Structure 1
Amino acid sequence: MFIGITQRLIEEEKYKELREALALEWGDLFSNSALFKDFIPLALSYEIDFKRYAPYLKAVILSGGNDLSIFKESFLSKKRDIYEEKIIKYCLKTNTPLLGICRGAQMIAYFFNSSLQMLSNHVGNHKVILNDENSFISNSFHNYAIVNLGKDLEILAIAEDQSIEAFKHKDKNIFGLMWHIERKNGLNNTKILKQWLNTIKENK
């Protein structure tokens, strides 16, 4: 089963080319984590209409990388925003499981009218606190944080500064995680990730 993954957009300075890139850690995650043993990642190109991919996908992940265009107005950020907004609308309409990672979580949160702002001390490992008050150490690589959720979303985990680390849609199979599951310390607690993966099985 394929899980589509959006890619980072970069400008290669030497050749002045725009490129799509997916970190090697994603391949490692799908190869070596038992959680993803039934899935194959499919990198999504921004030059191919998402509707062409959709029939082959069981789920979609909006990956990290690039700031939202509301924070950094650039061609690359805007291009990602437009493409990922179409994915969110598709998943919302079809109830296709959707997971946002870091930037992807911010994109989903923004789509659902949440509030985001720049925060410090969110680069490096830090504590994440689940709703049941259990906590764990996770990686963190973002300069912008979600501080309030829109009415369609609910909190699943917070950081010690009360910013939102994980959330889900109240009715749809849409989740967001501010940590990177594909990087070191990204699977220290998989409770929420397993909830999302279960929606794929239930959505067959």
Structure 2
Amino acid sequence: MKKPLIGITTFIGKNNLEIPKRFIDVISSEHGVPVLLPEIENEDLIEAQVDSIDALLLTGGDDVDPALYDQDPHQKLGNVEPERDQYEWKLIDFALKRDIPILGICRGSHMLNIHEGGTIYQDIYSQIDGKELIKHQRNDSKEHFTHKVTIKKESKMYDIVKQEEIFTISNHHQAVDKVAHGFHVAAKTNDGITEAIESTDHAFVIGLQWHPEERYHTDESSQNIIRSFVEAAGK
């Protein structure tokens, strides 16, 4: 049986393109073939990249440029990568057109939502008034869970993890604000932050605020998410 090819977006390092090895490990553990996607500018070649893969994994990284969703930069905005934003925008264009599975993690979830017309909080701690937020940015071991999320029963995410509450690893100061048309919220934290969105128009297009790749080897819900993604790519 053909092994599905999973295209994985790369981070922009100081002098090169990088990817945490854990993304490669979790995809290959589910018998997917990891294919690293270097950032390029030629639109025809980007389309060729998408045509060569069976699914797209949008990884985390720096903040998304607020110009993409027509906002001025907030004082708490972090580093942005406009070139990466433009590249991933085109990747999403072609991936949605082909209707291949897409899994967006953290920044990747933000890119999906913005691409389809939604917005994000540039800094949840200074832009959400009226209540005290829980800690969403961790500064301890990545092996420890950050917080729990509540999953909507009428969602694909619930079908995948088969639980209404799971513990997750998160590390972010931005989050989905206005949810894009054609998407719905599939999971939230107890303080109301959107933790998962999913397309109502595509078989498998999901954005997660948390990081299933961090606890894949020890957490069943994380395993189920990665496994379902690779299985969808193989159909």
Q: 1:89 aligns with which of 85, 88, 93?
A: 93
* CA distance in structure 2 between the partners assigned to 1:175 and 1:56 by the alignment: 21
Which of 60, 63, 72 in structure 2 is aligned with 1:64? 60
User: C-alpha root-mean-square deviation of aligned residues, in Å?
Assistant: 2.3
Q: Which stretch shifts more, 150-159 or 189-198?
A: 189-198
Distance between the aligned counterparts of 1:148 and 1:131, measured in 2? 18
Distance in 1 between residues matched to 2:230 and 2:40, nearest whole Å: 28
Aligned mate of 1:142, from 143, 166, 172: 172
Does the alignment pair 1:176 with 2:207?
Answer: yes
Q: Tell me which stretches of 4 or more aligned residues in structure 1 moved more than 2 Å.
A: 71-74, 184-188, 190-202
User: Residue 130 of structure 2 corresponds to which residue in structure 1?
Assistant: none
TM-score, normalised to structure 1, is 0.83
> Does the aligned pair in 1 maintain the 2:26–2:226 contact within 8 Å?
no
Structure with the larger RCO, 1 or 2 (CA within 8 Å, 6+ apart): 2
Q: Percent identity?
A: 25
Matched, 1:127 2:141: no
Unaligned segments of structure 1, at least 5 residues: 12-16
The answer as to 2:201 corresponding to 1:167 is no
The answer as to whether partners of 1:30 and 1:41 remain within 8 angstroms in 2 is yes
Provide the C-alpha distance between the structure 2 equivalents of 1:127 and 1:185, rounded to a whole number of angstroms: 16
Residue identity opposite 1:122 in structure 2: H
Q: Distance in 1 between matches of 2:185 and 2:111?
A: 16
Q: TM-score, normalised by structure 2?
A: 0.73
1:7-65 CA distances to partner (integer Å, 9 max, x unpaired)?
Answer: 11122xxxxx3x11000111221343xxx22x111110113732232232000111011
- Between the two proteins, the alignment pairs up a number of residues equal to 191
Contact 2:119 2:176 in 1 (8 A): yes
The Cα of 1:163 is off from its aligned counterpart by 1.4
Match of 1:157 in 2: 187
Match of 1:20 in 2: 17
Residue 200 of structure 1 aligns with which residue? 233
Q: 1:194 to 1:184 in 2, by over 3 A?
A: closer
Matches of 1:176 and 1:154, distance apart in 2: 10
Which residue is 2:70 aligned to? none
SS at match of 2:24: helix
Structure 1 position 192, deviation (Å): 5.2
| Distance verdict in 2 for CA 1:185–1:31, change over 3 Å | closer
